[in-house]
Every structure is written in C-alpha cells, then in structure tokens.
C-alpha cells in the first residue's frame, strides 16, 4: 500500500530566456529534464514568472513555443495528464501578470483531482488541459494582479499571484505562483532597514496569504513558490561590508540626492571595495556570495521572518539565486547590477510542512536546491524542492 507520492516543485523567473532566445533556452530545458530524470517525481509543478520577458509584446510568441517544447518533449511523455495556465494577455493591463503554471501528472498516479473554484468541487484530472490568455473564464485557477493602490509611489507593474488547488491521494493542497515587487534602486534600498521595498513585499505577501486563507473556500495546506524578490537587508549588509573602509557619498550637483556610494579600503592602495549606484552594485570580493553557498550572509536574509507564524521553509544550502550573468561563458558569476539575493523561494504553510515524509534512515528524502548551478540559466537560477507527500488515510 502506497504511503506517499514523490512531488517536484520548481520556480523560475524566465524573463531573460525570452530576451536572449537560443543557447540558454536549450541549456535550461536540458537541466529541467535532467532534474526530472534524476528524481522521477509523479507530480510536477512548474511556476514561471515574467513569461515573455521584459519585451513581452515582441517575445510572447517565443514563450508559447517554449511551453509547447516542454509539454511535447520526449522526456515528459510518461506524464499523461497536464494542466497548463499561461497569462499572456498583455493587452489587458488591469489584469496581466505574466505568470505561467504547468502541472504534469505521471501515468502511474491514479488518485488525483483538481478544484473548480466556480463549482466549489474537486473533479478528476484527465487529458491535456491548456489555457493561454486572460484566465478570466477558467474555473480551475484563481489569478489576481496586485491592486494599483498597493504602491502609490511606484510604477504599477505586472506582479500578482495564481493559485490552483489539488487532491493527491486524498490530501488536499494549494499551489500558489507568486511574483512580488523588486528593488528599483540600490540607493533607496540602502536608506533604511528594512527598506521601503521590503515593506512593500511584506504588505503584498500578507495580502496573498490572507486571500488564500479567507472564508470563500475551506483553507488547505499551501505551497507558495515564485520570485518573491526578497533581498538582503542592504543597509545592514553595506555597513557590515564597509566597516573598515572609508565611505564616500557622492551627491548629484544640483540637489542633495545621493548619486553613488563608494567605499575604499583604508590600506591596500585605497582599492574600491564597494561601489553602489541606482542600478550598480559592485563588491570587490564577490566570491563571498558563493563561498559556502553564501551562508555567512544568510543572516541578512530577513524578509521571511515576518511570516514565521504561518510559513516555513527548508534550510537554504544554495548560493543566492539572482542576479546571475547572462553571459553564456560565466554561468556562476553575478552581474554587478544588484546585491546577490535569494529571490526565488519555495515556502509552505506549517500544515504543509507536516505533510512531508522524512525517512528515519538519514537518507536524503527532501531536496531544496538550485537547478543548473554550473550552466547559464539566465539571470535567475531556478529553484526546486523535491519531497514525498504523505498520503491522507482519512
């Protein structure tokens, strides 16, 4: 009698895949198929953000071909049922999120159904189900763009969430694809601790959690995975990195506005240790973000702690997932645009954590890691979580 089902969750901000079509995309797909092959899950959930990339009006066609490529590939042929949701309706500015969610069900997994939010009932999943467009009339998905008044001081952008609800072997759960607001300026991020951007993300994530836990539907254990855009506490980090340096703040000529922050080493020929501008973050010892997977800097990763009452996460044992170089020859190097951070995450409710089967014999039955650590995957490394979901016997 089966007691659990192997599940693979993957989150990937794929924006740069469509802005740089070609070799990176092939590499990306190869890594995906390798991950599937190595773990042999029976249920796969792929959550994508920034479908179509920054230039989505031009590149949405590439995105559709990319999805087509995954679903029709030889490597995925054992998965005989699929549910695919791609919000590519960029003409609908009020609702466009650029989120895409793909779910694959292995032919050996018999006991699975999906929730119809309209009928408020679960229905068995069969065949290939693909919805590309606005999602307004699709009853098996709930999608929302964050309200315009969320960030009155910032440009309204295509951020939001998309939820599906499942029963796998009698166990109900919500899978939620999330994309939160980024840090628009490194200099503003340095102003306060926590930064204004961090406060915005906190507000948005609390909104998502409230929406998926409200009384419209019975609350279920949930997995939230996507690009949370969580950043290191920049002010505290910069103070730490520059504590033995000479710090110089350069103002714009006509105003009191900071144009750049330069930290020079006191000896060592006054080498520039840290140089920060609105969209520039260069640190002399970039290897610190990769050494021991950046573990010494995890203490500055504070944004999840505000949600410890409802959310848990496996230990992070991988380096920051963003912003990697998009240069094909530098797959492990970070770009000098932002402070490297663990933006891409897989979080879960405490009730979901209880559903994870952990073997007593010390065997690694749970894996939380990046995909393609040594090949170019675009500016974000996808993050995956492989685990065994306990069967509900009630």
Query: pLDDT of 188-233, one tens digit each?
Result: 999 999 999 999 999 999 999 999 999 999 999 999 999 999 999 9
Neighbours of 332 (CB within 10 A): 13
State residue 20's pLDDT score: 66
Give mean pLDDT, residues 101-114.
96
In a domain, 275, yes or no: no
pLDDT score recorded for residue 359: 80
Q: Of 30-34, 146-150, 233-237, which gets the smallest average pLDDT?
A: 146-150
| pTM, rounded to two decimals | 0.96
% of the chain residues with pLDDT over 90: 76
Helix (H, G, I), strand (E, B) or coil at 180: coil
Torsion of CA 137, 114, 314, 99, to 10 degrees: -20
Domain annotation covers residue 129 = yes
pLDDT band at 253 (very low <50, low <70, confident <90, very high): confident
- Distance, CA of 132 to CA of 139 (rounded, Å): 13
220 domain residue, yes or no: yes
Provide the pLDDT for residue 114: 98
pLDDT of residue 59: 87
CA angle 367, 368, 374 (to 5 degrees): 105
Q: What is the pLDDT of residue 360?
A: 74
**Residue 110 pLDDT greater than 60, yes or no:** yes
Supply the range of the domain harboring residue 157: 4-232+285-390
Say which residue the tokens 């103002």 belong to: 251
Residue 152 pLDDT more than 80?
no
Tell me whether residue 219 is in a domain. yes
SS3 content of the chain, % helix, strand, coil (to 5): 25, 30, 40
pLDDT for the residue numbered 155: 73
| For residues 233-258, average pLDDT | 88
Give the pLDDT of residue 362: 55
pLDDT the model gives residue 361: 66
Domain count, the chain: 1
Label residue 148 by pLDDT band (50, 70, 90): confident
- CA dist 134 and 125 (Å) reads 22
Stretch 9-21: mean pLDDT, rounded? 87
Structure tokens at 290: 């990769």
* Cβ atoms 389, 357 nearer than 8 A: yes
Helix (H) or strand (E) holding 49: strand 43-49
33: domain CATH number is 3.60.10.10
d(CA 36, CA 34): 5
In a domain, 240, yes or no: no
- In this predicted structure, the answer to whether residue 50 has a pLDDT above a threshold of 60 is yes
375 within a domain of the structure (yes/no): yes
* Residue 394 scores a pLDDT above 80: no
Average pLDDT over the chain, rounded to whole?
92
Q: Is residue 355 part of a domain?
A: yes
Per-position b or e across 96-120, b if 16+ CB within 10 A of its CB: bbbbbbbbbbbeebeebbbbebeee
Residue 44 located in a structural domain? yes
Residue pLDDT, tens place only, 273-332: 999 999 999 998 899 999 999 999 999 999 999 999 999 999 999 999 999 999 989 999
Residue 1 has pLDDT above 70, yes or no: no
pLDDT band at 181 (very low <50, low <70, confident <90, very high): very high
Contact (Cβ atoms closer than 8 angstroms) between residue 345 and residue 387: no
């Amino acid at each position: 009698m089966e007691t659990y089902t192997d599940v693979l969750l993957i989150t990937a901000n794929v924006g740069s895949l469509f802005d740089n079509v070609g070799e990176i995309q092939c590499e990306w797909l190869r890594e995906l198929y390798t991950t599937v092959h190595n773990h042999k899950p029976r249920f796969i959930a792929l959550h994508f953000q920034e479908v179509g990339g920054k230039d989505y009006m031009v590149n949405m066609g590439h995105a559709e071909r990319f999805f087509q490529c995954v679903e029709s590939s030889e490597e995925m042929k054992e998965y005989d049922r699929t549910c695919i949701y791609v919000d590519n309706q960029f003409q609908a500015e009020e609702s466009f999120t650029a989120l895409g969610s793909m779910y694959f069900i292995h032919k050996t997994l018999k006991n699975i159904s999906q929730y119809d939010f309209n009928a408020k009932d679960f229905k068995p999943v069969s065949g290939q189900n693909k919805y590309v467009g606005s999602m307004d009339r699709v009853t098996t998905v709930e999608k929302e763009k964050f309200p315009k008044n969320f960030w009155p001081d910032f440009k309204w952008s295509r951020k939001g969430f998309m939820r599906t609800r499942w029963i796998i072997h009698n166990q109900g759960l919500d899978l939620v694809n999330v994309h939160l607001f980024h840090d628009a300026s490194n200099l503003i991020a340095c102003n306060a601790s926590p930064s204004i951007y961090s406060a915005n993300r906190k507000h948005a994530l609390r909104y998502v959690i409230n929406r998926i836990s409200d009384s419209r539907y019975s609350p279920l254990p949930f997995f939230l995975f996507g690009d949370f855009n969580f950043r290191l506490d920049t002010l505290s980090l910069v103070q730490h990195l520059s504590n033995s340096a000479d710090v110089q703040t350069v103002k714009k000529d006509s105003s009191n506005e900071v144009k750049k922050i330069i930290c020079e080493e006191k000896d060592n020929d006054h080498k520039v240790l840290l140089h920060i501008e609105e969209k520039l973050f260069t640190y002399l010892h970039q290897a610190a973000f990769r050494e021991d997977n950046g573990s010494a800097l995890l203490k500055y990763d504070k944004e999840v702690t505000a949600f410890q009452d409802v959310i848990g996460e496996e230990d992070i044992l991988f380096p920051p997932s963003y912003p990697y170089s998009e240069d094909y020859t530098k797959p492990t190097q970070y770009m000098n645009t932002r402070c490297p951070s663990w933006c891409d995450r897989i979080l879960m409710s405490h009730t979901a954590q209880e559903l994870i089967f952990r073997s007593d014999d010390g065997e690694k039955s749970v894996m939380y890691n990046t995909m393609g650590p040594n090949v170019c995957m675009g500016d974000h490394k996808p993050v995956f979580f492989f685990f065994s979901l306990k069967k509900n016997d009630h």
